[in-house]
Structure 1
Amino acid sequence: MHQQNEVGNKIEKSKFESSISELKKKTFVSAADIECYNVCGTTPEYEKAQQRSLNDPEGFWGEVGSELEWTKPWDRVLDDSNAPFTKWWVGGEMSVCYNAVDRHVVNGRGEQFALVHDSPLTDTVRKISYNELKDQVSRLAGKLTTLGVSKGARVLIYMPLVPEAIIAMLATNRIGAIHSVVFGGFAARELRTRIEHAEPTVIIAASCGVEPNKIVRYKDILDEALCQSSHQPRSCIIYQRRRVLECPLEIGRDISWDEALEADPVPCESVEANEPLYILYTSGTTDAPKGVQRPCGHAATLCWSMKKVYGLQRGVWWAASDLGWVVGHSYICYGPLLAGMTSVLYEGKPDRTPDPGQYFRIIEQHRVNALFTIPTAFRVLKRADPNAKYARRYCQKSLKTVFIAGEHCDQDTRQWAERVFGVPVLNHWWQTESGSPITAPCLGYGVKSVPPYSAGYPVAGYDIRTLREDGMECKPGEVGRLVAKLPLPPGFASTLWRSDERFKKIYFEAYPGYYDTQDAGWISLDGAVWVVARADDVINVAGHRLSTAALEDVVLRHTRVADAVVVGAPDPTKGDVPLCLYVMRPPQDDEEIVAESTVTQELIALVRHLIGPIAAFRKAVAVPALPRTRSGKALRGAIAKLARSQSVKIPSTIEDPSVFGDIKLALQKFGYATDAPDPEF
């Protein structure tokens, strides 16, 4: 690999080239981990599919599209005449709802469970068959039509992770309307901005949501948002959670869920493949909502990905996420249902609700075959139960694979998870905008492992490159901006809702002819992709570029560190220097207590040994907890701004806003944030 001045590259490659003897010294490394270094690579089947998807996209995606049922055949597979607004399966018409529900009933699989809802917070487990799902979806769709919802109209959904939320999504699609699911953690102000931007004809909400330590009164939040909103829906349909909390209904506007399901069922309406399926607002966009618009043809990509990316034909799938995120849209609702699988919905936090054993209980009780989660969940599990005592209580024979995404996963956490779950833990990379994986192992093509620390290989349709700031392409192994060459594959965001120009400016202006992922990384000679950080998380130390994710990898190797983030902090000489905030793991059983000062000095020595003095890693401090969103992402940008005494606006999706008080005190130990205003929420 090429030597260069960019230390981020040196960091990642030094880890990748670790010797086998060093690997054997690491905790929890199995023979499979070591063998991974020797057998990683693509397969002829993968290479053939990848090349065809780039060289013959019409033929490749034409075959993918034919796996679904269409009411009208497409005129042409690809229309790239108005880049970046690429169209796929142009003129073809279908119903996503029909393919996700009715098709399986027609094919004799109506008695199979479509959804399993497990809620330890309410002590309930509900199972809904495809027959039952079809009946409820078609009846709710019938009610929506009587309320004036038609093709192209919007329905806003504000609900917790319950089957009724998926029923609402499918019912909206059934009549050709567009749904916009708002994450249940959003407060009234954020909900109001989305109502005003999407202008829904009807809003579907629940009386409440249930969290480990509180009940969230959804209906009260909705009422407050509507009082402030310049747009008013015609009606609101309210699902009463009678086992938890019922709410009063406003006469003339609100309709109960039970009443809505008394409507006559209606058949599916077909829409053209490039018409909007849904609008999904990215987290934290309160002042200027950024609504990602997804085309209906996305259904074909999702159905294909369940088989070719995740390697599943049938069975039970569990995406431990929320419907308000893109993972929930793609792989709680649409993906598994389009593939005719059973999708598990878990209400709560499986790493702690009510105990750290819930991942393993769910796998055993519902015979889960594949799990999708985030690395943060494993760090929480590792901190709470490092010896996996809970895991040993349950049988996990049904589980074949675990997939992780959403943020960087350090190698030690991944290896711990592989030992505990007893199956491969595979990293892959994608974004809200992509809607499905950009890179992955692609199990359906025989690629069963990826090089350590990497996010796998490009998924069909993605031509991934790394570019320098001047737009020139990087050499293999050189850290740069990760981009995808146009045209983008089907299922990618078609635009931003009512903002075509903004769509072009944000994603395509910086590197003409490419989609700017706004992530930094590098690509190996054989095409594997390493995502080292968001572009904003690459810091410049005395002219050398450092990946914060690579530094976090080293910090998280320490046995007493449970979680950590590294950000760039200002330095008068070097420009930036790394500043580390870490959470100490409580001692287990008979372990002796180790002082914070000792851990800090060991971390400084560890970074110096594994990366070198050029990292200038001298500032580290323990904190009680780190600021993370409910989807597990660390708010590095907010911490970095706070260190510069800049104003910080915290998204309402933050798990615990109070942690910023401790963060501010920790930064002040190094002379930072002394003049910083308090963060705004």
Structure 2
Amino acid sequence: MSYAEAYAQWQADPEGFWAEAAQEIDWITPPSRAFDPEQGTYGRWFPDGVCNTCWNAVDRHVAAGHGDRQALIYDSPVTETVRRFTYAELQTEVAALAMVMQDHGVTKGDRVVIYMPMVPEAIFAMLACARLGAVHSVVFGGFAAHELATRIDDAAPKLIISASCGIEPGRIVAYKPLLDAAIAEASSKPAHCLILQREMELAAMQPGRDVDYTEAVGAAKSAGRLAECVPVAATDPLYILYTSGTTGQPKGVVRDTGGHMVALKWTMAHHYGIAPGEVFWAASDVGWVVGHSYICYAPLLHGCATVVYEGKPVGTPDAGAFWRVIQDHKVAALFTAPTAFRAIKKEDPEGALIGQYDLSAFRTLFLAGERSDPATVQWAEAKLQRPVIDHWWQTETGWPMSGNPVGLGQVPVKHGSPGVPMPGYDIRVLDDAGQPVAPGVLGNIVVKLPLPPSGFPTLWNAEARFRKSYLEDFPGYYATSDAGIMDEDGYVFIMARTDDIINVAGHRLSTGAMEEVLAHHPDIAECAVVGQADALKGQMPLGFYVTNAGVARDPQELERELVQLVRAQIGAVAAFKTAVHVPRLPKTRSGKVLRGTMQKIADKTDFKMPAAIDDPAILDEIAGALKERGILR
């Protein structure tokens, strides 16, 4: 089936399309219908189905005779460790952990916060929650104590699963003191904490509350005490995931159980073009939605091996780290953020390290997480000599809204576009009044309701906020908060978050379009453009750039070239006059550039330190560069 045929089939009969996809899942009680428009805010998927995610991700493969198949590969260059688990071994680890959780009072519907580094036990914990029908909420390991405390208060967990420490290149991050401080601050106190002691830094344990993970799970395995899968409704929540960078009251995206499985299982074959038994690697973190969907759940639902990587694209030890992992584990497809490839390109602009590794098993590179600038995509295409597939989705959807479906034969690539709408998504572009705009005209990107399976049904304990944040601005549609265009061929182009559209003397301009131009300069490794407040024109674009390794240019000369590029490709209307050299850009740990924070620094307005920032010292570097240029005084 081609993409056009699949999309047309979905359009003609959405319920039939997803009912057929649901046959790929083992149901305890099969749903009698795919969709009930009367349930929930905009309808619910598989409303009367009963199932269990852990069974589908683990046990059914063992039951089908695939217990010896590789399921999970842990690769940690920071600890020089590789561990492998078959599906049978994964089943034992998860079922024993689930029994320990049961012993400490966790039952169906209880919440469990997981605050872990990138270790196999993080995946075991997620699956053990799913096994019991408990609702997990993974918080990025190393998040500040206050941010963790707000999530503990919102989720009210019965149990927290954590580790003594995380490991970054050259440093150890002690998690347990952060966890203890968060629990002290939170008004909701967990009954117990299950702590994985890592030998690099052992944590002090609090008697009566803290339980040693290795001892407790080891005892359960030795005694053969393994918990069974608990039946749950397809509409029961599987997890809560708090969106990154939230301030104040956190925003907990709820993922339901049945629709999530159906959609993710469908994507592995049809979108990513992966077969059961192959190795799929999402180089992300379990704290983000990519880690939930494509490190933990989708590969295992499909019977693949998934890679859990505790390392970086550069620095562990060099810019060849990704190629080494692909070679060692015979990775068929890699999914990572564009920022990872910009980092690799900066350190190895000629791609010399690629040729040192055997990439014969590697077929496809997938990029998502922020805009994939054409320059980075073209560099990757040229150096890898393989398809480079951009795609676009959000925490709220759980899987791609637009992309290039490898398993359906692919469509032609258009650089700068994350592809075409996937089946399930009726994507429109509207003006601020809610009226459709012509092809090629910048507007608000929305999705006609209902969202497909796996789309979030609400926010945790915040239905009114769910409606206000996502549904009220454009009635009948889900507002993505992304701005962009659709061309005459139906390709989506994401230009910026709606709050990154700047108004220069009455002209609405996309910072993403300017970044795209700057990124094409051969000396630029990565860049960002923000709107700085201007008394005359409202806002003026302000560019920041990082040069490739080994580039030594006069900043004034390079700035003139960049300004001329923008003028030539976008026009004088962009009013782009300033590009500031900085040693690095501030990012979250998932690689998103913190443009809003940079804008606040430039505007001299107060800002809260972003919870997920990779290195706070970078903000001082940004301020210093602006002062050096006389932009800040």
Does the CA-based 8 Å contact 1:283-1:651 persist in structure 2? no
1:516 corresponds to which residue?
A: 479
Within the candidate set 516, 524, 530, 1:553 is matched to 516
2:138 corresponds to which residue?
A: 181
Within the candidate set 401, 407, 415, 2:370 is matched to 407
Within the candidate set 25, 43, 47, 2:4 is matched to 47
* Post-superposition offset of 1:544: 1.8
- CA offsets 1:615-647 (integer angstroms, 9 cap, x no match): 111111111111111111111111222222211
Q: For the structure 1 residues 145 and 83, does the alpha-carbon distance in structure 2 shift closer, same or farther, using more than 3 Å as the test?
A: closer
Does the CA-based 8 Å contact 1:153-1:177 persist in structure 2? yes
Within the candidate set 125, 129, 153, 1:168 is matched to 125
Q: How many pairs does the alignment contain?
A: 626
Within the candidate set 35, 57, 69, 2:26 is matched to 69
Q: Any idea what SS the aligned residue of 2:352 has?
A: coil
Higher relative contact order, chain-length normalized (CA < 8 Å, sep 6+): 1
2:358 corresponds to which residue?
A: 395
Within the candidate set 261, 273, 282, 2:234 is matched to 273
Does the CA-based 8 Å contact 2:349-2:549 persist in structure 1? no
TM-score by length of 2: 0.97
Q: Does 1:145 align with 2:145?
A: no
**Structure 1: distance between partners of 2:620 and 2:91:** 49
**Structure 1: distance between partners of 2:273 and 2:106:** 38
**Structure 2: distance between partners of 1:571 and 1:225:** 41
**Structure 1: distance between partners of 2:115 and 2:40:** 34
**Structure 1: distance between partners of 2:382 and 2:363:** 13
Q: Does 1:641 align with 2:597?
A: no
Within the candidate set 590, 614, 619, 2:578 is matched to 619
1:417 corresponds to which residue?
A: 380
Does the CA-based 8 Å contact 2:313-2:344 persist in structure 1? no
Within the candidate set 206, 212, 233, 2:163 is matched to 206
2:252 corresponds to which residue?
A: 291
1:452-471 matched pairs, under 5 angstroms: 452-471=415-434
Letter in 1 for 2:55: Y
**Structure 2: distance between partners of 1:565 and 1:583:** 9
Q: Does 1:538 align with 2:538?
A: no
Does the CA-based 8 Å contact 1:569-1:578 persist in structure 2? yes
* Post-superposition offset of 1:379: 0.9
1:313 corresponds to which residue?
A: 275
* Post-superposition offset of 1:352: 2.4
Letter in 1 for 2:147: E
Q: Does 1:196 align with 2:153?
A: yes
* Post-superposition offset of 1:286: 4.0
Within the candidate set 229, 246, 263, 2:202 is matched to 246
Does the CA-based 8 Å contact 1:438-1:458 persist in structure 2? yes
Does the CA-based 8 Å contact 2:349-2:548 persist in structure 1? no
Q: Percent identity?
A: 49
Q: Does 1:442 align with 2:405?
A: yes
* Post-superposition offset of 1:670: 6.0
2:180 corresponds to which residue?
A: 223
Does the CA-based 8 Å contact 1:201-1:233 persist in structure 2? yes
**Structure 2: distance between partners of 1:234 and 1:199:** 10
1:385 corresponds to which residue?
A: 348
- CA offsets 1:226-281 (integer angstroms, 9 cap, x no match): 12221111111111112x22222221111111232122101101111110000001
* Post-superposition offset of 1:350: 2.3
- CA offsets 1:633-664 (integer angstroms, 9 cap, x no match): 11111122222221111212111111111212
* Post-superposition offset of 1:82: 4.7
1:376 corresponds to which residue?
A: 339
Does the CA-based 8 Å contact 1:159-1:165 persist in structure 2? yes
Does the CA-based 8 Å contact 1:54-1:462 persist in structure 2? no
Q: Any idea what SS the aligned residue of 1:565 has?
A: strand
Letter in 2 for 1:548: T
Unmatched tracts of structure 1, length 5 or more: 1-43, 675-681
* Post-superposition offset of 1:421: 2.0
* Post-superposition offset of 1:418: 1.3
Does the CA-based 8 Å contact 1:645-1:672 persist in structure 2? no
Q: Any idea what SS the aligned residue of 2:66 has?
A: coil
Letter in 1 for 2:213: W
Q: Does 1:126 align with 2:83?
A: yes
Q: Any idea what SS the aligned residue of 2:522 has?
A: coil
**Structure 1: distance between partners of 2:120 and 2:594:** 31
* Post-superposition offset of 1:466: 0.2
Does the CA-based 8 Å contact 2:40-2:457 persist in structure 1? no
Does the CA-based 8 Å contact 2:51-2:234 persist in structure 1? yes
**Cα RMSD after superposing both structures:** 1.4
**Structure 2: distance between partners of 1:110 and 1:128:** 10
2:459 corresponds to which residue?
A: 496
Does the CA-based 8 Å contact 2:348-2:549 persist in structure 1? no
Within the candidate set 212, 215, 228, 1:256 is matched to 212
Instruction: Between 442-451 and 475-484, report the one with greater CA deviation.
Output: 442-451
